[in-house]
Amino acid sequence: MELIDRNLVIHVEDEIDHLAAEFIRREFENVYTKHNIKNVIFDMSDVKFMDSSGIGMIIGRYMKVRYIGGKVAVTGVSDSIDRILKMSGVYRVVSKFDTVDDALRYN
């Protein structure tokens, strides 16, 4: 995880299953309570697998930051992960960008 201004960039690796999603949730809460975070960017460049736990984790972070006018974005999404995010409706509330820099410019 990396803080850039009020943006929390979460670099996700390999897969987002139940265990990984829970780890990300805990780490997010630790950072969120200590810093004045507004936006969350998930860098998914290295993600090869994601199940429903990952979808829930992303939506949960959206629910947390939307009350303060924050946004959630995903970057570097592979074709297979993109299909999952489209089918689940995540893109209705989460923006997709090619790179973290693109997402930072948007926020």
The pLDDT tens digits for 52-105 are 999 999 999 999 999 989 999 999 999 999 999 999 999 999 999 999 999 999
Query: 46-67 pLDDT, tens per residue?
Result: 999 999 999 999 999 999 999 9
CB 10 within 8 A of CB 40: yes
**CB 31, CB 94: distance < 8 Å:** no
Q: Which tokens hold the place of 104? A: 């930072």
pLDDT in tens, 27-49: 999 998 899 899 999 999 999 99
Q: Which domains can be identified in the chain, with CATH numbers?
A: 2-106 (3.30.750.24)
This prediction has a pTM of: 0.93
